[in-house]
Chain A
Amino acid sequence: MRVGLLILKRLGAALLTLWLVSLLVFILSSMLPGDAASEMLGQSATPEAVAALRLKLGLDQPLYVRYFQWLFGLVSGHPGQSMISGLPVAEIIGTRLPKSLFLAGLTALVSVPVSLTIGIVSAIYRNSFIDRALNVMTLSMVAVPEFLVATLSVLVFAVSLRWLPALTIIPDVADPASIARAYALPVMTLCFVVVAQMARMTRAAVADQLDQPYVEMAVLKGLTKPRVILRHVLPNATGPIVNAVALSLSYLLGGVVIVETVFNYPGVASLIVDAVTSRDMPLLLACTMVFCTAYMVLVLIADVAAILANPRLARS
């Protein structure tokens, strides 16, 4: 009972935040000097043509009316038309989103097991040589910007070694070998930063549990090390670890912007960069909301996991 209520509360808070985000970005976008009509028609347009388009686009309406029109459009899946291509935004995003999700999914598939292993191993062997080496490694990895990793990996694997293509061309035939070849560099680049982040947070979560008196008690009960870890430490660390995974994956959302651009990958993130360059506001707003929703979903998953992993909340 209480758990359901708690989860509902978190959901409500997430929706409230999302709504505030929509308000914020809409107000921001309305601060753009000039408006969509003059932008679309260019400098040579006659004032009459601009006025006519304004009327057609509803730009003569007050801000709040436009906001609610946009918001209802957004919620019902019709967030307007692109100012550049004239295509419905939903359609553009619809073709791009699965590609971004596929890239993110592949990255998660690779990075989660790797980073959990690194994090748990370095926590168990705390302050040993392995731990300190891993610490310096992950610490350095999180400090390197994605575009550097992307550039340098292109330099090494595509330019020098000529093993992999520098640009990602999604293969027509979906055999594992060609997919692996096509996606190797972007996935590697994304993993580079995310793995380091996730491993560090996992280590902190596990190390935190290792300091608890019940772990000492388990050792003093004569239990084997694997049993102490699997039965006592990990169940308590589940909540924080899921939290670490979710938060690190949300870091991906920024990473894909660079990676899709560098590797010329046709996803939502490279769409955003195009929208910014061409000041295609309806497209930019919609993409922003997609990214924020993704972030909120990840945070919500982390919250729910933390609630479910805690018997104090899960029972009674």
Chain B
Amino acid sequence: MAVTVNVSHLKVAARGEGGMPIPIIRDVSFSIKKGEVLALIGESGSGKSTIALSLMGYTRPGLEVVGGRIQVGDQDVLALKSDELRALRGKTVAYVAQSAAASFNPVVRIMDQVIETAVTTQMCTRAVAEAKAIGLFKSLALPNPETLGHRYPHEVSGGQLQRLMAAMALMADPALVIFDEPTTALDVTTQIEVLRAFKAAVKERGVTAVYVSHDLAVVAQIADQIVVLQHGEVREAGQRDQILHEPDADYTQSLMQAAQPEKRVRPSPAKALGTMAPILQIKGMKAGYGKARDGSLQKTVLDNIDLTIEPGRALGIIGESGSGKSTLARVIAGMLPPAAGQVCFHGEVLPPSLRARSRDQLRRIQIVFQNADTAINPAQTVGEVLARPLQFYYGLKGQALTKRVNELLDLIRMPSSSADRLCRKMSGGQKQRVNLARALAAKPDLILCDEVTSALDSVVAAAILDLMAELRHELNLTYVFISHDISAVRAVCDDIMVLYAGTQVEAGQSQAFKSAPYHPYTDLLISSVPQLRRGWLEEARPGSSGAQAQPEDGLCRFLPRCSLKIPGLCDTMPAPRHALSDGRNILCHLDEPSLRAAQLETV
């Protein structure tokens, strides 16, 4: 069934103002052998999705193919008429989109969408198609394959939808499947299962596939060949192992480095623990939203949080989406008063709400938000953004103000001329630097960084991480670094705290997080992060995104997903917090030897 694919001298352009074409893809060529998986890798704006879609003879509105040839099997895709293209799409070439949640029609049942192409083109009867779909659901390890199709898309989880989309693509036994960043929107623990299902499906059917991604480690698991793209041009192309082990192009090398922050970021000279009075101390804190009549919370987001930060150290807070990590930053900053517990700053209890805090207290804690697009007023210039905290906290004016703004720009490696530029005209990385500089302007004692790199491309994100490490070195800063990316956290932080569903499941020094034993959730998280080597996917322990049902109050929140749970104990008694020999503490019934035994055996 598989086909060879040949792309030669492909050129795609956008229609700019006044009809002037703006090149998007400049002369891209590659070929895929029968049954091979080719990865298109690059950052946003590299044109990887545009190329992938052109294999189906499709361009997004505003774009058009202006040159080149695309050969899929014996078909010259770019020369096909519209009815021939329809016959190609969904049957010879199938597509798996990035966001399954958005790519499924919300008002049509899943089964009807999965079998739609097969049924409308009279490839088979409805009954045959449904039986085949159920078979595909099974082979993609979807739960309840018989009844899953009766649901609407919003009734199914993101990881399952992504696999359902793969089932939809495989329905017509296509010769070529295009995966367009299919796991980017998923949590790492979900990503691993979806990746496994995809890889098995592709191998089993021997189809030719194109896998579009920005993540080298993911690509390392699934691709035979890799094409590295930047600004619509091929930087490097070759066999997977050659690209991974002996990259030629500078750009590929920078991508490789960006993917391994722990190897790159220079360790900061952290002060030894316990030598100085803590800056921030939180004990038994509880927070959430919605006050019920009796004063309890309607939705508890964080429960029983303890943390201590000493001056000059960086604390990493890690967890998947919904774990409450951003809420923790909001509580510390005073945006959300905690329902219980206190925030002590320099030994004094901080007033819980913003309004009650003094200007100096506010100045000493600064927060940097994830998305610089929304964190910086687009109508202001860089200079105005940086000047405001200086005027507000220090009353600076005139020369002194300009001088300090220029110093700040210098700190974030931007020229002083950029002070006059409008924020909305800056690139994502530049905005994030300004975002950071605005916090530095207040000369705070503590900077809260909320996912500051997750909206950025990997190379840009790596540069921000490096900048933060350097600034810490120069200015002796104290950070709380919130992230879902454990390798970034391990690279820049001295201490780490792991949150799961609002509970603190593990905490300790960063070096201690390099080897087992871990809390079962930390273990799952660490083992789910793709590694830059082939074979990782096969060796990694099976994930368990599992049941969504929440355990009863007081019991371990991770219980439904835990592979090491002890029936009769974990589901009846609240888990105790206990210390490990290297100083970390975990919230778990299992003791150190049994955790170590369970976690080392599979590696």
Chain A in direct contact with chain B (Cβ < 8 angstroms): yes
Which B residues from 32 to 86 make CB contacts under 8 A with A? 53, 56, 58, 60, 85-86
Does any Cβ of B come within 8 Å of A222's Cβ? yes
When the two chains form the complex, which single residue of B56, B58, B97 contacts A213, counting CB atoms closer than 8 Å? B97
Does any Cβ of B come within 8 Å of A236's Cβ? yes
**What residue of chain A has the Cβ atom nearest to residue B86's Cβ?**
A222
Which A residues from 265 to 316 make CB contacts under 8 A with B? 309-312, 315-316
User: Given A213-B99, A315-B152: A222 and B90 within 8 A (CB)?
Assistant: yes
A-chain residues with CB within 8 Å of residue B107 when the two chains form the complex: 235-236, 309-311
Does any Cβ of A come within 8 Å of B370's Cβ? no
**What residue of chain A has the Cβ atom nearest to residue B121's Cβ?**
A222
Does any Cβ of A come within 8 Å of B131's Cβ? no
Verify B120–A223 contact, CB threshold 8 A. Answer: yes
When the two chains form the complex, which single residue of A212, A223, A316 contacts B90, counting CB atoms closer than 8 Å? A223
Verify B105–A222 contact, CB threshold 8 A. Answer: no
When the two chains form the complex, which single residue of A212, A213, A221, A316 contacts B116, counting CB atoms closer than 8 Å? A221
Which B residues from 509 to 532 make CB contacts under 8 A with A? none
Size of the chain A interface, CB-CB below 8 angstroms: 23
Verify B116–A235 contact, CB threshold 8 A. Answer: no
B-chain residues with CB within 8 Å of residue A220 when the two chains form the complex: 53, 56, 58, 89-90, 95
A213 CA to B85 CA, complexed, in Å? 19
Verify B154–A312 contact, CB threshold 8 A. Answer: yes
A-chain residues with CB within 8 Å of residue B97 when the two chains form the complex: 213, 216-217
A213 CA to B105 CA, complexed, in Å? 9
A-chain residues with CB within 8 Å of residue B99 when the two chains form the complex: 213
Verify A236–B89 contact, CB threshold 8 A. Answer: no
A-chain residues with CB within 8 Å of residue B104 when the two chains form the complex: 214, 217
Does any Cβ of A come within 8 Å of B356's Cβ? no
A-chain residues with CB within 8 Å of residue B152 when the two chains form the complex: 311-312, 315
Binary flags per residue of A216-260, CB closer than 8 Å to B gives 1, else 0 = 111111111001000110011000000000000000000000000
A-chain residues with CB within 8 Å of residue B168 when the two chains form the complex: 221
A136 to chain B, nearest CB (A): 21
Binary flags per residue of A19-56, CB closer than 8 Å to B gives 1, else 0 = 00000000000000000000000000000000000000
By CB atoms of chain B within 10 A, which of A218, A219, A221 has the most? A221
Task: Other than A222-B87, A222-B89, A232-B105, give 15 A-B pairs with Cβ distance below 8 A.
Answer: A212-B102, A216-B103, A220-B53, A220-B58, A220-B90, A220-B95, A223-B90, A223-B120, A231-B108, A236-B105, A236-B107, A310-B107, A312-B106, A312-B154, A315-B152
The chain B residues found within 8 Å of chain A, CB to CB, are 53, 56, 58, 60, 85-91, 94-95, 97, 99, 102-108, 116-117, 120-121, 152, 154-155, 168
Nearest 5 A/B pairs, CB to CB: A222-B90, A222-B89, A221-B90, A213-B102, A217-B103
Q: Identify 14 residue pairs between A and B in the complex whose beta-carbon atoms are under 8 Å apart, listed by A's number.
A: A217-B103, A218-B105, A219-B58, A220-B95, A222-B85, A222-B88, A222-B91, A223-B90, A223-B117, A223-B120, A235-B107, A235-B108, A311-B152, A315-B155
